[in-house]
Amino acid sequence: AIDYNGDELVTIINHSDFRKRFGGLYEDTRLTKAPKGFDPVHPHLELLKNKTFAVACNISRDQILDPDFKDLVVQVYQEMLPFRRYLNEAITV
């Protein structure tokens, strides 16, 4: 999906709410060069180098114990949903 629709992923991960909550993609391990078969000057090369696509956010103990914690969980999920949908579409194409 990044090869032909990387602009959509860039829009999702650069959205201000997404950046504020998750800080961007969790970058565990990355390739050092373009994946085999991809142009080394591909416009989304940095995304293509990722071996994993995940996000994470920190939640404090106080937030967990807050009576409104469920509202926070829903909010976090809603902020992550476009990213999840993008990935789901990518693996079902």
Check residue 1 and give its pLDDT. Answer: 86
Task: Specify the pTM.
Answer: 0.87
Is residue 93 over pLDDT 70? Answer: no
**Number of structural domains the chain divides into:** 1
* Residues comprising the chain, all counted: 93
Query: What is the extent of the structural domain holding 11?
Result: 2-92
- Sign, CA torsion 15/30/52/73: negative
What is the per-residue pLDDT for 56? 95
pLDDT digits (tens, 9 = 90+) for 35-86: 999 999 999 999 999 999 999 999 999 999 999 999 999 999 999 999 999 9
CB-side exposure of 36: number of CA atoms within 13 Å?
0
